[in-house]
Amino acid sequence: LRHILIHPDPRLKKVCDPVAQIDDELRILADDMLATMYDAPGVGLAAPQVGVMRRVLVMDCVKDLKAQPRPMVLINPEVTWTSAETNTYEEGCLSIPEQYADVTRPAEVRVRWLGLDGKLHEEGFDGLWSTCVQHEIDHLNGKLFIDYLGPLKRQMITRKMEKLKREMARA
Ligand SMILES: O=C(O)C[C@@H](Cc1ccccc1)[C@H](O)SCc1ccccc1
Ligand SMILES: [Zn+2]
């Protein structure tokens, strides 16, 4: 498992680098990210959250645990279309533990990415998958869900995380 960085952390604000080639190091990173995501537990995780500044995200938004899990690895993902319709979801973030706030995003998105199989993929996402893939692509661009909130609410959450990190450092 990898350690998940907690906000505020400069690495969570950086724009990540595109992946040049799919090699064993990348395959190991993807496996580690999926294991870390399931352990958290979460439905998504982006590479900068584990301190790797590369454009890789993993997700599995299959909520019904009886259903077949659908682990996805998206490399160099790009949004190619967004719906005019929006939906609002109370988002959280593994890098901002225990903090939740409503974020409004396009209800549906189409995303193109490079798969671990080396092939280009393009797929539409809606529901939780849409919210999640947009949340994760934001991470690759150094954007957090609290950046969509007003300055006071964002500052309150940041102060709480700074306190949490001080306490963790003392523990
Ligand atoms: O920090 C992350 O990127 C993992 C996020 C992904 C996510 C955020 C908001 C909405 C959808 C996905 C979550 O912490 S994963 C935890 C979770 C679990 C079930 C439903 C929503 C979020
Ligand atoms: Zn997040």
Q: How confident is the model at residue 21, as a pLDDT?
A: 96
| ipTM of the modeled complex | 0.94
Average pLDDT over residues 22-36: 98
Which atom of ligand 1 is the closest one to the Cα of 4? 1
61 lines ligand 1 (CB under 6 A): no
Q: CA 86, CA 39: separation in Å to the nearest integer?
A: 30
Q: How confident is the model at residue 66, as a pLDDT?
A: 74
If pLDDT is split at 50, 70 and 90, which confidence band does 69 have?
Answer: confident
**Mean confidence (pLDDT) of the chain:** 97
On the question of pLDDT at 34 being above 90, the answer is yes
pLDDT, tens digit, for every residue of 93-119?
999 999 999 999 999 999 999 999 999
Ligand found nearest the CA of 37: 1
The DSSP annotation for 115-166 comes to: -TTS-EEEEEE-HHHHHHHHHHHHHHTT--GGGGS-HHHHHHHHHHHHHHHH
95 lines ligand 1 (CB under 6 A): yes
Q: Of 13 and 62, which is predicted with more confidence?
A: 13
On the question of pLDDT at 64 being above 80, the answer is no
Q: How confident is the model at residue 65, as a pLDDT?
A: 66
